[in-house]
Amino acid sequence: MSDYPLGDSPAEIRHLVEQAAVYAPEANELFDLIGVEPGIAAIDVGCGVMGVLHLLAERIGTGGRVVGLEREPRILEAGRGLAEQRGLEVEFVEADATASGLPADAYDLVHARTLLLNVSNPQEILAEMIRIARPGGIVAIEEPDASAWACDPPHPAFDILRTEIVNAYRRTGKDFNIGRSVARMLRDMGLEGVRVRATARVTKVGDFYQTFLLTVAGLVRDVIIAGANITSDEFDSYSTELRTHLVIPGTLTCQPLMWQAWGQVPI
């Protein structure tokens, strides 16, 4: 699997912790639709620091099994520490999502969120996710699409940096807009009864995700500058202007759409 473009800095670890909390309602709605029941075996692939492990542990209980798979050692270490702090009965596996080494047909639910956008080989990861799911099990994906990523009142720096983020991903063989295609990908991989929905989240001044675009832009800054569309000084100027704009009372942002798709492994 290709390198994780956002790295394992303290800023990214904090982002992953916040993501687990902020996007919990959408994930819980997905698990309601899937029908996640007590006692099943579930794995969150590319779980990051927490992913949906806390939600699965609450639903599945001690009679089942909840596993988090993560490749980045520092992120995995932070996840183990947070799980211990919260008293969660979950297992962690350090492995690559394309070659986990886990047994086949082992899990009733195999889930991944914001994983496929960060790799250049999403089909390989989906193939591995299907391999470790039992026949009749569910594979579920949550991935973003930047088409709705906007702020109001509008600001040109927001649009410029959003475009540069999407282009930075594209230049490294990744797709920030992969969310729109996840249902098709699951169908093409042979899953049955594929369902899909998209959710949107609006933020206001003071919300963590109000400045999410600046967070991502900062994490991929070097890739953006290497693209030569904007200079280092222009990047810093746009960032400063936008940060000032986003803290003006009344300013809103709409975050990237989160596309959720899930289907059943043929029996």
Q: 1 pLDDT band (50/70/90 cuts)?
A: very low
| Digit-coded pLDDT (tens) for 160-208 | 999 999 999 999 999 999 999 999 999 999 999 999 999 999 999 999 9
pLDDT at 16 over 90: no
Q: 20 pLDDT band (50/70/90 cuts)?
A: confident
H/E element, 79: helix 73-86
CATH number among 3.40.50.150, 3.90.226.10, 3.90.1300.10, 3.90.1150.10, domain 10-264 = 3.40.50.150
**Residue 158 confidence (pLDDT):** 98
**Residue 8 confidence (pLDDT):** 56
| Digit-coded pLDDT (tens) for 138-161 | 999 999 999 999 999 999 999 999
Global pTM reads: 0.92
- Mean pLDDT computed over 239-251: 98
Cα–Cα distance measured from residue 64 to residue 224, given in angstroms and rounded to the nearest whole number:
44
Kindly list the distances between the CA atom of residue 117 and the CA atoms of 75, 113, 145, 219, 248, in Å, as whole numbers in the listed order: 18, 9, 9, 15, 31
